[in-house]
Amino acid sequence: MTTVRFAPSPTGYLHVGGARTALFNWLYARNTGGKFILRIEDTDVKRSTQAATQAILDGLMWLGIDWDEGPYFQSERLPIYQEYAQKLIDEDNAYYCTCSVDELDEQKKQAISIGRAAGYDRRCRDKGAKQGVLRLKAPIGNTVFHDLFRDRFEFDNSLIGDFVLVRSDGMPTYNFTCAVDDALMGMTHVIRGDDHIPNTPKQLLILAALVFNPPRFGHLPLILGTDKSPLSKRHGAVSVMAYQEQGFLPEAMVNYLALLGWSTTDSQQLFSKEEMIKKFSLKRITKNPAVFDMEKLQWMNGVYIKQANPEKLANLCREFTSQKGKIGDIQLEEIIKLYQGRIKVLPEIYQLGDFFFSPEIHIPEKICQEVLSMSGVEEVREILTETKKVLSALEIFNPDTIEQAIRTMAERLGIKAADIIHPLRAVLTGKKVSPGIFEVAALLGQEMVVQRIEGGLCMVR
């Protein structure tokens, strides 16, 4: 059975790269009916925090990436690593090194001065020390692996050196815990970022020394910004949860992340989760860097918003507004229906539709001049006065009755409906562009409409 994992170190939030790694492993597990394990690599006690673990779990849950086993915490598995460290010592595959930091620095300097690789010179190999840092006795030769997404890699073991497995304080290192756990947890594939390529030969050496079958390794391409430099804060948020806060939908985010290094033969862009699982294949993962394009993500989010259930969107909007201390509107769902075809992120509703959310509106000077104080000021005044009369007389106030009333009024006065609609839109919304004005007026309600026309009339001059 395929067994894969996501193994974050809890030293910060879940970032875009980590989320993409988790997603690809998850998609592969789901595609093959395998198992996806979550393992928290928290043996670096100084840098690991519970808050970061929680942030990572929150990020995964928001994206809908569920795990079949775990989370396992490496900090709770220390006796296991001790056991395997002892096995390596007993079988003469590891030894204690007592070199001080100064000594190691000195070795490094010397190596560089004679043009040798700056690794540890193995001087404690045969000392038989009983404590210190534990180092792997790297065999002479080369370590080779065939990457799932790239070519063959070959490393000279002498350059890898006798690296550290357990620190002098007894804490095992990342390479050691990772290799042991990947073996014990039965990983068939290790799919992770290509920054881990230098770790793979080390982990292979550990696995070989412990006579464990190695998993297949695949290193995902780097994620770049649109300027082709590695993705960083300069390109926008790197934390996945920041996208939630900015009004992105998890479905859009997952869809977008899936395309960072993977594609179908026909370059399909939009996938339901089920479709993504069905079509996902390791064969279609590229080795070329993937580009994180904010505009494309926004476009995709817009598509998902357009298709989403308005009630669901309203609930999400309420979360935003309560976060920001605004009061949710009971008509939010109806307002969303007016905007969901034209926004890219949810909070845009509060910018484009600001006139729905506060009783007072501000009509910018520019709009007053263009719409309300056109050549025929008197005419605009008359039109608005008449509109107010007509609309306040309506017994049923809905988009149809409003439209009917406006069209009848236009006919009666021998003017175009647009001559009424433009000033009406200006006084109701403070804008030149809005969703259909009859829908807008109906949602604002008769009382508010009358009040805003009166307010607008004061601006006609």
Between 135 and 189, CB nearer to ligand GLU: 189
Supply 321's token pair. Answer: 């507004």
Closer residue to ligand GLU in complex, CB, 8/261: 8
Measured from the CB atom, the residue of 187 and 391 that comes closer to ligand GLU is 187
Residue 193 or residue 328: which is nearer to ligand GLU going by CB? 193
Residues 115 and 199: their CA atoms lie apart, in Å, by 24
Q: Could you say which of 7, 65, 349, 352 contacts ligand GLU (CB under 6 A)?
A: 7
Helices 78-90 and 174-184 cross at an angle (nearest 10°) of: 100
From the CB of 27, what's the least distance to ligand GLU, in Å? 16
Across 41-90, the runs of DSSP E, i.e. the strands, are 69-73
Q: Is 41 in the site for ligand GLU (CB under 6 A)?
A: yes
HEC profile of 106-147: HHHHHHHHCCCCCCCCCCCCCCCCCCCEEEECCCCCEEEEEC
Q: Which of 134, 110, 130, 129 is nearest to 121 (CA)?
A: 110
Catalytic choice (46, 130, 228, 233): 233
Min CB(199)–ligand GLU separation in Å: 7
| CB-CB contact of 144 with 152 (8 Å) | yes
- The dihedral through the CA atoms of 7, 8, 10, 13 has a sign that is negative
Question: Is 233 noted as a catalytic residue in this protein?
Answer: yes
**Which residues between 191 and 250 bind ligand GLU (CB under 6 A)?**
192, 196
Helix (H, G, I), strand (E, B) or coil at 219: strand
Residue 171 vs 417, nearer CB to ligand GLU: 171
In the complex, the smallest distance separating the C-beta of residue 37 from ligand GLU, rounded to whole angstroms, is 11
Alpha carbon distance 40, 26 (integer Å): 16
Smallest distance, Å, CB 74 to ligand GLU? 9
x-marked contacts with ligand GLU along 292-321 as a string, rule CB under 6 A: ------------------------------
Q: Which is nearer to ligand GLU, 193 or 347 (CB)?
A: 193
- Torsion-angle region of 186 (φ positive above 0: left; ψ -120 to 50: alpha; else: beta): left
Smallest separation (angstroms) from ligand GLU to the CB of 123:
30
CB burial string 237-259: b at 16+ within 10 A, e below:
bbbbbebbeebbbbbbbbbbbbb
Please choose, out of 5-13, 158-166, 338-346, 354-362, the segment that lies near ligand GLU by the rule CB under 6 A. 5-13
Please tell me the distance from the alpha carbon of residue 160 to that of residue 415, in angstroms, as a whole number: 85
Rounded to a whole number of angstroms, the minimum distance from the CB of residue 203 to ligand GLU is 8
CB burial of residue 442 (10 Å; 0-12, 13-18, 19+): buried
Site string for ligand GLU, 163-192 (x = CB under 6 A): ---------------x-------------x
Give the count of residues interacting with ligand GLU (CB under 6 A): 7
Residues tagged active-site? 233
List interacting residues with ligand GLU (CB under 6 A): 7-9, 41, 178, 192, 196
